[in-house]
Every structure is written in C-alpha cells, then in structure tokens.
Amino acid sequence: LTCTMTCGPINIWPQPTGKASIGSKASRFRLSDVHFNVRTTHKPVEDLLWDAFRVFKEELRAVLVAHGAGEDEGDSSSVTDSGNDVWGRGQQDIGAKMEGTAAKIRFYKAVDDSRYDVDRFDIRVNVVKSPEVHLTMQTDESYNMTVGHMARSLVVKVFANSFFGAKHALTTLQQLIWFDDEERILKVLNKALIEDVPRFNFRGLMLDTSRHYFSVESIKRTLVGMSHSKLNRFHWHITDSQSFPLVSKHYPQLAQYGAYSDQEIYTAEDIRDIVKFARERGIQVIPEIDAPAHAGNGWDWGPKHNLGDLSLCINQQPWSYYCGEPPCGQLNPKNNNTYLILQKLYEELLELTGPLDYFHLGGDEVNLECWQQHFNESDMRTLWCDFMQQAYHRLQIANKGVAPKMVAVWSSGLTNYPCLSKNSFAVQVWGGSKWQENYQLISAGFNLVISHVDAWYLDCGF
C-alpha cells in the first residue's frame, strides 16, 4: 500500500475538479498527536464539525484495530462504555476531557518516539460563510486544503464555505492516510495542495428497504461507503408493494399489516439515528413513500377500520394484468382517507429527516387497467395526474403550507403528459440511457436525476 500511495497517480476519490498537487513523501504519526481546531462564527457548524472529526478519528482507529496495532500506537484517548471518544474543544488534546463516571482510561505501553516523524499533527478548519447544517441544492460544497510538514510538525489547513465542504476536505485528508504493514504505523502524505468542488450538486444512492429489508447497521455501512466517495444524498425507498416496514405513529396498522415481521421494521428512533449518522457524514436523507403504484402489502386494512379501500388490486392475479411486477397494489385515487394517510406520513418523515428542500413522491408504473376495473374515467392518465397533484398538495400541507423547493417523481408515462410543472417537479429517470424520454424531458426543461437501469441499477446481478 505504501508503494501505491507514494509511487502511483493521485489517490483521491472522486478526483479533484480543481488544482491538485500531492507530494510523494510521507510522515509517520501517532493518532494521539492529532489535534483539531475550528474557526467559524456559527456554533451549529462548529458542533457538527467536531462530530465529523470524531468520525474521522474513529475510522482511523478502526484501521489500527483491524491490523492489530491499536495498542502499539500509544493512543491514550478516553473512551466511554459506548465506545465513543470524549472530546474537548478548540485546541485541546483528544481525550483531555472526561464526562461522567462511566468513562474509563486505557493505559498503553510506551512507544519509541523515534518511530514517528511528527510530534504534532494539526488540522485547522476555517468555515467562512454558510451557517447551514442541512444540505440544500444551493449548498456550496467546495474546499481548499493544504498539507505541510515543517520540523516535527504537520499542519493541514482547510478553507470551506460550509460544513459540507469542510467535511469533504476531511474525507480527502483521510484518503491521504494509510497503515504501513511493514512498519506497522500510520502514514500520511505530507505535502499537498487541493482545490475541489463537486461537479454535480446531487450525488446520490438509492436503497430499497421494502423488497429486501436492511438492518439499521447495514444502512449505516452504506452511508459510510457513501461518505468515503463524497456522495451526498441517501434516497431511502422505504416502502413498496412487497412490504411496509415504516412504523407510523399515526397509522401503525401500515407496518402491522405490511412488515415482513415485527423485527423487520424502522421506528421513529431508528430514522432519527440514521439521519444523525448521515448528517455527520455530510449526507442528506431523502425519504420516499412510493405512490400511487407500488403500494400493496400494508394498505389492506382500510375496510376493517371503516376507512374503505385504501389500495386496489392488492395481490391480484394474474399479476401481469394489474402491475409491473408482483405483488400488485395501487392506491385508491378516489378515497380521501388515502390522501389523509399520505399527508400524515409526509408530516412524520419531514419531522424526522427535515428540513428538506427536496422530497420524493414516487409516482411511476401506474397500471391503468387496475383502476379501470373500478372507475369509468375516459382518460385514466387524468386520474393519475389528479392523484399526483393531490399528493403534492398534501405534501405542502405536511410541510407547514410550503412545498419543498423541488419535488421528485420517477420518469413514467405521466412525465411526458401535460401534468407536472417543470418549476416544481424534478424527474428521476430510471429507464434505458438511450430512451427517447431522456431527450424529451431535457427539452421540456425538467431537472433530471439520472439513474438509468442499464448503467446504475445494482439489483440485476451486475
């Protein structure tokens, strides 16, 4: 690995879009000699940066532990029973402050200081502009970073306009650090100048937790991988026809009837935990309750509670007549209780994940034959359009009367129909990369999120 880091091309991912000059010489350092300093006038930004630094330090410690070298490092950080470091602030040493009686100290054996090239490793972060701790489409994620080594001191200087830019700088710095297997020590490239700004302000990954349930810990591992690649939007496709794992405080029947089991669910506390975990890593969580199609299991309890049919064609056969894939299920566009439930779900999710300037309503693969069994509309696409407009209106109510700046839907037969405004809706294109709809939507002026099935889907054996 040392040869790869010092002899090959720049090992930054994604590669910086601006100037990038990285030396080939490395410095050996101790984790306990790393110091962190933040300069910003925004206290929430400072606090979140300290959280991000805690993550940075924990991940480096995990590298040491994975190589069986944790104790040899002489890192005498204080560690609570939960495994989290107890941090000071400003320029205090890591572990200089202890809180509560639960804390305990590990004493490691002395290590020969001559093994190390530095006595102090300073990371100095200056956030000069934005007070934001919630990502938006306008967030400036740029950063400039320099690394220099003088005498026995290593200094990293970071200048960013937001927490998110500074977080990306920490990720880049982490990519300049590695564990030398022969010397059994951490090393860092000790000279660098990097100017970087993301080429796209939406860099996402979608995870479907309905067709296949993922534990909270599995989701966190995904978020860690996203953070290391500087991806910034976690699109959480929470529900679909297969299952409804979200436990709603207003309508717990959805999970009661729709989850695979009482263990394969997501509570409000789970979601808060995931959102906090993501935010510390510079990632926004974008929830999606797919509607009106992709809504089967979990929606079949309406008649038992005097709410009528909330969804139609649930598990109907032959499935190929009534949905794109089994099991079938499509929300009832003429039952006001259906919209009320959606409104409350949006309200809960916005409270748990917000504030958000981007929200996903689903909206694709509506099977018109399903609805035609129940309604006599002359043009079923008009009914489809009415549903999406009503869902948008309910989202607006749930968001205290103001719609998120951009509301996303999947590409479908409706997005090429005169229904959705390009000023309010973005389209996530999931069809083939050469499909004509791509060019039509661009020509119509829509903002697009590109997730073509033949390039970006990872569910078909790729």
The predicted structure's pLDDT at residue 83: 36
Q: Which H or E run contains 448?
A: strand 447-450
- Least confident range from 10-19, 69-78, 136-145, 412-421: namely 69-78
**Alpha-carbon distance 25 to 12, whole Å?**
16
DSSP codes joined into one string, 202-243: --EEEEE-SSS---HHHHHHHHHHHHHTT--EEEEEEE-SS-
165: nearest Cα among 46, 56, 282, 39: 282
- Based on its alpha-carbon atoms, the radius of gyration of the chain, rounded to whole angstroms, reads 25
**249-303: per-residue pLDDT in tens?**
999 999 999 999 999 999 999 999 999 999 999 999 999 999 999 999 999 999 9
In the three-class reduction of DSSP (H, G, I as helix; E, B as strand; rest coil), residue 406 is classed as strand
Q: Which helix (H) or strand (E) holds 155?
A: strand 153-160
More confident site: 314 or 103: 314
137 confidence band (pLDDT: 50, 70, 90): very high
- Catalytic hit among 71, 264, 365, 377: 365
Residue reference for tokens 């590990």 = 106
pLDDT (0 to 100) of residue 460: 64
pLDDT tens readout for residues 26-53: 999 999 999 999 999 999 999 999 999 9
Least confident of 100-109, 126-135, 158-167, 363-372: 100-109
Is residue 167 within 8 A of residue 177, CB to CB? The reply is: no
Query: pLDDT tier at 3 (50, 70, 90 boundaries)?
Result: confident
- Identify the pLDDT of residue 377: 86
Span 377-405, pLDDT tens digits: 888 999 999 999 999 999 999 999 999 99
Task: Please give the angle made by the CA atoms of 407, 433 and 234, to the nearest 5 degrees.
Answer: 40
pLDDT at residue number 113? 66
Task: Specify the range with the lowest mean pLDDT, choosing from 105-119, 175-189, 299-313.
Answer: 105-119
CA quadruple 430, 434, 435, 438: dihedral sign: positive
Among candidate residues 361, 350, 312, 314, the one with its CA nearest the CA of residue 332: 312
Per-residue pLDDT band for 458 (boundaries 50, 70, 90) equals confident
* Coil, strand or helix at 297: coil
Confidence (pTM): 0.90
Higher-pLDDT residue of 317 and 100 is 317
pLDDT tens, position by position, 53-85? 999 999 999 999 999 986 444 444 433 333 333
Q: What are phi and psi of 173, to 5 degrees?
A: -60, -40
Torsion sign, CA atoms 45, 51, 57, 63: negative
For the cut 50, the answer to whether the pLDDT of residue 90 exceeds it is no
> What per-residue confidence (pLDDT) applies to 462?
43
Residue 371 has pLDDT above 50, yes or no: yes
H-assigned helices in 263-322: 268-279
- Please check the confidence at residue 215 and state whether its pLDDT lies above 60: yes
Domains and CATH numbers, the chain: 10-67+115-196 (3.30.379.10), 204-450 (3.20.20.80)
According to the model, what pLDDT value does residue 461 have? 54
Alpha helices for 234-335 (secondary structure H): 253-258, 268-279
Active site residue 264: no
